[in-house]
Amino acid sequence: MIEETIFSKIIRQEIPTPLLYQDDLVTAFRDITPKVSSHILIVPNKHIPTINDVTESDELTMGRMITVAKKLAKEEGIDEDGYRLIINCNDDGGQEVYHIHMHLLGGQRLGRMLSL
């Protein structure tokens, strides 16, 4: 059993964090250190450490993450101007928290896609 991260505690509200969205599959909340003016994390309720651990049984959850991102982008008022969705995987991908999360980033013009 791979150890849970702080995100599981946020999902269960053992660490009180304002939730922007929650249903039976996913939860969304603001990043604690926003990199842009709108920076939201969308996470599966189930602890899946990395994209490498996703299976076919997670397809509904992974799809829900996208539809929730779309809904929240609209609520944030950034849908028309645009935004970026990012999921980092493992060290080279820059992953810090080993519970899959999709970054929803927007509210300003984003720079180059990659900085190496």
Closest by alpha carbon to 113, among 100, 94, 96, 98? Answer: 94
Does residue 101 have an active-site annotation?
A: yes
Catalytic residue among 39, 47, 99, 101: 101
- Region near ligand 5GP per CB under 6 A, out of 31-39, 48-56, 64-72, 106-114: 31-39
Reported as half-sphere exposure (CB side, CA atoms, 13 A), residue 57 has a value of 3
Interaction with ligand 5GP in 80-99: which residues (CB under 6 A)?
88, 94-97
Interaction with ligand 5GP in 35-74: which residues (CB under 6 A)?
41
Question: Which of residues 56 and 96 has its CB atom nearest to ligand 5GP in the complex?
Answer: 96
Two tokens, residue 108 = 């300003």
Query: Could you list the residues that contact ligand 5GP (CB under 6 A)?
Result: 6, 17, 29-33, 41, 88, 94-97
